[in-house]
Structure 1
């Protein structure tokens, strides 16, 4: 490695910038993110630099550079258009043992400014040594998307308790294991969400438990896994899946999404299919409580969104009764994913001004819905879990006023490689032989928006 990465304490640093064009302005803006005092020297100054004339950390000197400008300086940036002057200032700075950077002239740089991700007190610096700036920008964009914007809270939280942990736990290894548990767990999540009082309490409990080798209660995260395509997961869902000790997942969670779960996490399948519940709901509730009581980070991974026909409300009611901490992470619901990937807008000014979500399978196994409220023109109806009840759905909608020529679409395995879309009308769909080959998960969309499917079907053309 040619450039050794260092972080310079800027609390008392004095920085000199020679030049005051737009290139110099960018360096000025960068340095002002630190605590350094900055002097800018140049005969002419662009409007951006001139705008800092009243900044308490900036001194603007409008004249040509002089050698005495280097006195008591920690860093020097040279950004003039005069290459001979730049080289001369470089030589003078080196003679005085002052770190110097001549902008866009790597051979005359004793240091280079990296690409920075600033989440102070957490700061990440990236460098390619000036040889691959586009690749560096690409990597920075990737990291920016992966690192939570509020990670700074976690840095400040760690600083607050650093000495207490040091005095409470003997040995570097014990402290490292403890901090890893904290930063990977629910305490960190509370800090990032701004719930510091609750985080402080759990932290002190965890620290006491670490001293006595006792585990405190864990936390449950109800996470929406979306309709199936792993690219549709939220960043937060992915982060929690990779922190989990235990993952309790259902049948609608695709194998591709399960591949993203932390490798050494315990995975427990509790899927439900028609007339085949591998684990009753009350047992799932008890399982979540049991695993959290062991001190585990539990992710309850649910297809779609936990609060849209996902029994999320029932599950958190049980967690509240058991006094188990929880968080809910929304996901893209099947209606949104399926309609988008099938090229069927749920609303459209020419077709539907409202959309209704309904379940095609009630708790008692019937399809006894409020049909008069559903059977309205100019709205879209989305039925979850309605494949078995399809004949009843079509019959009741026609009976309560919808035209028998109303378009209907059945979408199987929405957003996945195996997605299938079967269309027809309320009167014809049940006679389509393709319907008999469909299997859950299949979503039903009813309304004239379905007529746009062939025109807007972008996903099947990309497969």
Structure 2
């Protein structure tokens, strides 16, 4: 059945692939990019290809991924056991065979350069620690998605990794100090008004300053206290 990609309404989803088996058929540059992102996500990656890139060979030697040094054929266990399947060969016919088998097994499969025939698509991604921003044009223009990704990388620099780690610590502290759920939510909103990003960008997130911040929060975990802490932070930026 022919699918019109213009009619597809994609459902955005962040998947936990830690410890999940994923199969990539193909050993070139596209397959390498897929493998890199899957390894970063903690997936158990198996590549099926008679030959693969130098980088993937290095990952095999390091024990980071498994390599089946064969061409694709129907009935391979790596495909049958995979949570996600990536068809990334340079042959349309082979990719189509992979897609048909994977779909018959109830697998989600993505096909390189064939968005409409894929069960899912992989977006362009900006990762800053806990912050994960995904961009997709639904296959209309990967170049535009890449351009937007580059703009986001400039806007959301490496400081956001420290920022979100700090907010997570503060959130846990507030949860331990403030029992009232409504008040706690207002406290969280006031915390977002603090210019912690400015502090981090100036290199001020030192151990002593961080300890003082946590001491102030612990001493006055109230709405008025959060406002005063915000003013204190602002005063240190000038």
Q: Provide the residue aligned with 1:361 in structure 2.
A: none
Deviations 1:242-276 (A, max 9, x none): xxxxxxxxxxxxxxxxxxxxxxxxxxxxxxxxxxx
CA distance 1:149–1:48, shift in 2 (3 Å): same
Q: From the superposition, tell whether residues 207 and 132 of structure 1 become closer, same or farther in structure 2 (CA, over 3 Å).
A: farther
Q: Does 1:51 find its partner at 2:58?
A: yes
SS in 1 for 2:60: coil
What residue is the counterpart of 1:114 in the other structure? 123
More strand by share: 1
Aligned ranges for residues 133-212 of structure 1 at < 5 Å?
133-170=142-179, 173-191=182-200, 193=203, 194-206=205-217, 208-211=219-222
RMSD of Structure 2 on Structure 1 (CA):
2.6
Look at both structures and tell me which one has the larger radius of gyration over its CA atoms.
1
Matches of 1:170 and 1:76, distance apart in 2 = 46
TM-score by length of 1: 0.45
* 2:125/2:134 contact within 8 Å kept: yes
Matched residue pairs, number? Answer: 227
1:132 aligns with 2:141: yes
Segments of structure 2 that go 5 or more residues without pairing to the other structure are 1-7
Separation in structure 1 between the aligned mates of residue 92 and residue 178 of structure 2, nearest angstrom: 57
1:191–1:199 Cα contact (<8 Å) kept: no
Q: Does 1:20 align with 2:31?
A: no
- d(CA) in 1 for partners of 2:17 and 2:42? 5
Distance 1:42 1:326, change over 3 A: same
Tell me the residue number matched to 2:95. 86
Whether contact under 8 Å (1:218, 1:296) holds in the other structure is yes
Alpha-carbon distance between aligned partners in 1 of 2:185 and 2:142, rounded to the nearest angstrom: 35
Residue 106 of structure 1 deviates from its aligned partner by 0.8
TM-aligned CA distance change 1:58 to 1:144, over 3 Å: same
- Structure with bigger helix share is 2
- Aligned residues of 2:191 and 2:226 also touching (Cα < 8 A): no
Per the alignment, do residues 115 and 90 of structure 1 end up closer, same or farther by CA in structure 2, a change over 3 Å counting? same
Instruction: Determine helix, strand or coil for the equivalent of 2:59.
Output: coil
Task: For 2:162 and 2:199, locate their aligned partners in 1 and report how far apart those are by CA, in whole Å.
Answer: 10
Aligned residue in 2 for 1:327: 237
Using the size of structure 2 for normalisation, the TM-score is 0.82
Question: How has the CA–CA distance of structure 1 residues 51 and 91 changed in structure 2, closer, same or farther, with 3 Å as cutoff?
Answer: same
1:95-124 C-alpha deviation (Å, 9 max, x unpaired): 222221111111221111111111011111
TM-aligned CA deviation for residue 18 of structure 1: 0.3
> Which segments of 5 or more consecutive residues in structure 1 lack a partner in the other structure?
220-294, 299-324, 329-463
1:196, CA displacement in angstroms?
4.2
